[in-house]
Amino acid sequence: MADPYLRVENLVKQFGPFTALGGVDLAVYPGEVHALLGDNGAGKSTLIKTLAGVHQPTSGQIYIEGKPVSFRSPRDASAAGIGTVYQDLALNQLMSITRNFFMGRELKGPLGTLRMDEMNQIAHDEMLKIGIDFSDPTQAVGTMSGGQRQTLAIARAIYFGAKVLILDEPTSALGQKQQMGVLKTVKRVKARGDIAIIFITHNEIHSRLIGDRYTFLALGKVIGAGTSDQIGPEEMRRLMAGGAEMGDLEKELANV
Ligand code: ADP
Ligand code: MG
């Protein structure tokens, strides 16, 4: 098997006295989708924000291609190939698809003029590669569906050099059809073979459909991890419930 692109060892993140991550290990491989699962408050967002340079770890180590790294800012993480697509997508609905694609990284001519034709072409081509053919990228982002916006944000992260693509609940706010659209996009990114994908979700079915590897977090700790072959549906259900057995949950309700 290939070496992990990104590896995390014993990562701890405290907010004052509160331990949000209590020693997390994780390894993500190029060409694989790593589903990161866990209940609200499990520490999923804290983990990815630490990988993305938003938070600095209290202790523990992040490695990129085997070398220890420390990110002082999102810019550092981005330069190391960590591309993060947050739930709110950070898109401006009133601006064009192309302007959103290049936001802050516009291609400019010698006099500082924007090379709009070139940027429109690139935005169109990059989105087409992973599944949407938006013939007119001068349209406002507001005209795109939720799934298409995810694709735009993903295409942008890849074009600007993401080797680890972090997707924070990309399907959670979408209807069924749009969800499948996003899963198709993720599958195309995976098929390139050179990008490792961290896919945060609450959805067991999506994890099954697209995940090669799973890590389950509960209260800041890894309570289960393995490949899709190692973790069957029953085990998955148990881990999704934070490690509780159905019997435990029944007992808790029995005395009401
Ligand atoms: P998840 O994304 O799995 O729902 P989070 O990583 O957002 O979980 O949160 C994990 C825990 O850390 C929660 O109890 C949350 O309240 C706490 N937490 C997250 N961010 C902060 C912060 N900036 N300051 C204090 N506590 C935080
Ligand atoms: Mg979260």
How high is the mean pLDDT in each 10-residue block of the chain (256 residues)? 89 97 97 94 95 97 96 94 86 92 92 92 94 86 90 94 94 87 94 96 91 96 95 90 80 86
Going across the sheet that includes 33-37, the strands are 82-85, 164-168, 196-201, 33-37, 213-218, 221-227
Domain definitions of the chain by residue range? 6-90+161-254
Q: Best of 11, 12, 18 to mutate for ligand 1, by most ligand atoms within 8 A of CB?
A: 18
Please tell me the distance between residue 76's alpha carbon and the centre of ligand 2 in angstroms: 22
Q: How far, in Å, CA of 110 to CA of 21, rounded? A: 48
- Cβ burial 191-214 (10 Å sphere, 16+ → b, else e): eeeebbbbbbbebbebbebbbbbb
SS3 96: strand
pLDDT at position 1: 61
**Ligand 1 atom nearest 39 alpha carbon:** 3
Ligand nearest to the CA of residue 51, numbered in listed order: 1
Which H or E run contains 14? strand 6-15
Q: Residue with the nearest Cα to atom 22 of ligand 1? A: 15
* CATH node for 6-90+161-254: 3.40.50.300
The reported pLDDT for the residue numbered 170 is 87
